[in-house]
Amino acid sequence: MNLLLPAVISGVAVGMLYGLLAFATVVLFKATGTVNFAQGTMGALSAFVVWRMLNGYGMNTALAVVLGLVFSVLLGVVTYQLAVRFRDGGDAGNTLVRTLALSLLFAALIDRLWSAGQPFQFPQLLTPGGFSLAGIRFSYAAFETLAVAAVLLTGFGLLFRFTNVGLLTRAMADSREVTRLLGVRNRRLAAAVWGVTAALGAVVALLSAHTLFLSTSMMDAYLLYGFTAAIAFGLTSLPGSIIGGLVIGLIGNVVSTYQGSDWANILMFGVLVVVLIIRPQGLLGRTEVRRV
């Protein structure tokens, strides 16, 4: 059995999920200057809500997923409005620590509501099974994961490039003062970005819950790899986040397949350290120049 091709395919599929998280990280950072450490637990919380609607109330799967995504958007917006918005013009480290605290808060909330019996089975939202080609087994789910991620990334990429909202978001990332003087309500826009990025986290959680199983910490490793992708390839580069996710997914899965996960992590984080020493803004990021 040839291991390389299946390892590459599964690596690309999981890499797209890392890429989605990295993309959300970059979008939020570009728009608000914040990295959200609560991204993973917010996604997990949304997946728990979907699971509860499915198991507790016997709701139709598609409806539960849609409601779960709506919940995730509201969660993002409310989180911003209640915990991030106030005194957000000061020290960036303060906001960063707030998101870390939010992550612990959401984790505690999940544990408070649904700790007993974790991890839970989660239904496969994608097509089960697969097909064999030249003796190699391919799963439909991997291709569908790729497709969903590709559609979302392309859609958001186009949104940021060609729509007014996208342009304003990018403008706000460049200079909040300028957008404010132009009459843009920065905080309203920031709330929308928090909502959208929370939904992206929820999509990743929902797509991976069947294979990861539903647990409070289910997104921890994914978020770590997503951050790694975003930072290594530049916190200011949207294409970099996607490429970074794919590279991390590929390295992770191919090296894990042949050499074990320890070597994969040594390689990935070793490369991250080297990149940050040689090119602090990330491989595809741009250096921020400030007029003094």
**Can residue 183 be called a binding residue for another protein (CB under 8 A)?**
no
Residue 135 CB-density burial (10 A; 0-12 exposed, 13-18 middle, 19+ buried): exposed
**Can residue 7 be called a binding residue for another protein (CB under 8 A)?**
yes
Binding to another protein (CB under 8 A) within 115-144 occurs at: 115-119, 121, 128-130, 137, 139
**Can residue 197 be called a binding residue for another protein (CB under 8 A)?**
no
Q: Give the closest residue to 201 by CA, choosing from 48, 63, 22.
A: 22
Q: How many residues bind another protein (CB under 8 A)?
A: 42
Q: Give the closest residue to 135 by CA, choosing from 265, 242, 292, 5.
A: 5
Q: Give the closest residue to 52 by CA, choosing from 38, 74, 67.
A: 67
Q: Give the closest residue to 46 by CA, choosing from 191, 205, 160.
A: 205
Shortest spacing between CB 215 and another protein, in angstroms? 8
SS (H, E, C) 248-273: HHHHHHHHHHHHCHHHHHHHHHHHHH
**Can residue 14 be called a binding residue for another protein (CB under 8 A)?**
yes
Among 79, 145, 216, 237, binds another protein (CB under 8 A): 216
Q: Report d(CA 50, CA 66) in Å as an integer.
A: 9
Binding to another protein (CB under 8 A) within 23-42 occurs at: none
Choice between 33 and 143, CB closer to another protein: 143
Question: What token pair was written down for 256?
Answer: 């894990």
Residue 103, H or E segment: helix 92-114
Q: Judged by CB under 8 A, which stretch of 25-33, 90-98, 105-113, 277-285 contacts another protein?
A: 105-113
Binding mask 233-272 for another protein (x = CB under 8 A): -------------------xxx-xx--xxx----------
Interface residue list for another protein (CB under 8 A): 1, 3, 6-7, 10, 14, 101, 104-105, 107-108, 111-112, 115-119, 121, 128-130, 137, 139, 208, 211-213, 215-218, 220-221, 252-254, 256-257, 260-262
